[in-house]
Amino acid sequence: MAHDPSVRVANPSPDDIGPWRLAVHLPSERGASRIVTESLLEQLGIHGWETADVFSIHLAAEEAIVNAIVHGNKLDPQKQVYVECLVSPELVRLEITDEGTGFDPAQVPDCTSDERLEVPSGRGVMLMRTFMTRIEYNEKGNRVLMEKRKG
């Protein structure tokens, strides 16, 4: 892009803008992830993230939020999912907390083992681990922190 000052004002480069943050409570209903992912995808583009990384972050966010709604809160309308996002040009951080009893991620069976390869469910956590740079659960297992670093 040409270094014309007027262009820079109209279209600031990702380095010129501060990190985007979002904190939102989602209802425990199917499809609620869209409330977060639509803004998240827009901000990933604004902050200069490449298509492959956008796919990875979108996938991890979708899987984590659906897990929180369906497995964590068990679609209980009295419970909510709390989502915090940070997007900067170099780092994306997503923290998703549900009001369920938690789970032990170490106990999730290996979905790539021969006996589970054709089971239709149970791939979400594995995809989150694979497509993000860092993923950690709290001790209770009702909150997941995920990060993606560029490069």
Partner 1 sequence: MPTHQRIDVSKVGDVTVVRFNDRKILDEAKIIEFGAELFSVVELDNRKSILLNFDGVEFLSSAALGKLITLDRKVKSHKGRLKMSNIRREIYDVFLVTKLNKVFDIHDGEAEAISAF
Give the nearest distance from C-beta 118 to partner 1 in angstroms.
6
Report the site for partner 1 in 12-31 (rule: CB under 8 A).
30-31
Residue 77 in the binding site for partner 1 (CB under 8 A): no
Q: Total binding residues for partner 1 by CB under 8 A?
A: 24
> DSSP letters of the chain?
----HHHHHHS--GGGSPPEEEEEEEESSTTTTHHHHHHHHHHHHHTT--HHHHHHHHHHHHHHHHHIIIIISTT-TT-EEEEEEEE-SSEEEEEEE-SS----GGGS--TTSTTTTT-SS--HHHHHHHHSSEEEE-SSSSEEEEEEE--
Question: Taking CB under 8 A as the rule, does residue 91 contact partner 1?
Answer: no
Of 11, 78, 107, 112, which lies in the binding site for partner 1, with binding defined by CB under 8 A?
112
Using the minimum distance from each CB to partner 1, give the nearer residue, 17 or 39: 39
Residues engaged in binding partner 1 (CB under 8 A) = 30-31, 34, 51-52, 55-56, 58-59, 62-63, 66, 111-112, 117-121, 123-124, 126-127, 130
